[in-house]
Amino acid sequence: MATLEALIFDVDGTLADTEAGHLAAFNHAFADAGLDWEWSTGDYTRLLEVTGGKERMAHYLKAWEPATRPPEPVNESIAALHAAKTRHYVAMLEGGAIALRPGVERLLREAREAGLRLAIATTTTPANVEALLEHTLGPGAMDWFEVVGAGGVVPHKKPAPDIYEYVLREMGLAPTAAIAFEDSGPGVRAARGAGLPVIVTTSTFTVDHDFTGAALVLDSMGEVERPFGVLGGDAGGHEWLDVELVREVHRAANFEF
């Protein structure tokens, strides 16, 4: 029977409900550049089917705004737009605009006390991860995570399994020794593609995604005073996600393998 050694967390939508912040940052960058692009919440919900901010803008240009051509070569202008968007987003995080979701800090602290190893596997830009963790968990919070797999460190972003495979490789772990925490369909597919069991906590923009393959689907990690809602799978009578429930899900998932 495989022993659980590591918890691997997605960032956007899982650690914090960040996508409304990303959306505002994209629209700020478009306005700064004098572009008349304004993504609505509905637009962004559809555009989130493409992971990665640069890839999302390239898709938008090609599929939604084929008539618009930024002045310089497309890739340079997308890179410049994305750098501006990241500046806006990081400034939001530094201003404390985005908090961790319910139960996240509690589970992270419990896992550390239980001697479990922590890692991150995200599509977002590394600077965004550091700003979120340092301004929610405090200075040095990046050190809680043995590996931070983020953004372009791998050639293919989620739903490709690359980022989870990278994190497992860097940690020297087999997929049976870890479990992933995600909020989106592409994220579940990426983790399952790497052979990891997945616990989903749905978030604002992904609640209608297809979570096929997830071991457990919750509406949040829950807190003692704020029990989670179970949307799929068996939470074994638990009312919040703690290390004991994570171990139970990991055991059940490995038993099926």
Query: Which of Mg ion, ligand XBP, none has residue 27 at its interface (CB below 5 to 8 Å by kind)?
Result: none
Binding map of Mg ion across residues 11-40, x = CB under 5 A, - = no contact: -xx---------------------------
Query: What is each CA distance from 41 to 15, 22, 191, in whole angstroms?
Result: 20, 11, 27
DSSP alpha helices (H): ranges in 95-242?
104-113, 126-136, 162-171, 185-193
Note if 10 is an active site residue. Answer: yes
Nearest to 144 by CA among 177, 172, 112: 112
Q: What DSSP state is assigned to residue 34? A: T
User: Exactly one of 7, 8, 13, 167 binds ligand XBP (CB under 6 A); which one?
Assistant: 13
**Minimum distance from residue 9 beta carbon to ligand XBP (Å):** 9
Closest to ligand XBP by CB, 88 vs 238, is 88
Which strands form 198-201's sheet, in the order they lie side by side? Answer: 147-150, 117-122, 6-9, 178-182, 198-201, 216-218, 230-232
**Is 201 a binder of ligand XBP (CB under 6 A)?**
no
**Alpha carbon 212 to chain centroid, angstroms:** 17
Q: Which helix (H) or strand (E) holds 55?
A: helix 53-59
User: Exactly one of 7, 16, 51, 201 binds ligand XBP (CB under 6 A); which one?
Assistant: 51
**Is 103 a binder of Mg ion (CB under 5 A)?**
no
Query: Which of Mg ion, ligand XBP, none has residue 162 at its interface (CB below 5 to 8 Å by kind)?
Result: none
Note if 219 is an active site residue. Answer: no
Task: Residue 139: count other Cβ atoms within 10 Å of its Cβ.
Answer: 9
User: Exactly one of 21, 52, 103, 222 binds ligand XBP (CB under 6 A); which one?
Assistant: 52
Binding site for ligand XBP (CB under 6 A): 10-13, 19, 22, 51-53, 122-125, 128, 158, 184, 187
Task: Name the residues annotated as catalytic.
Answer: 10, 12
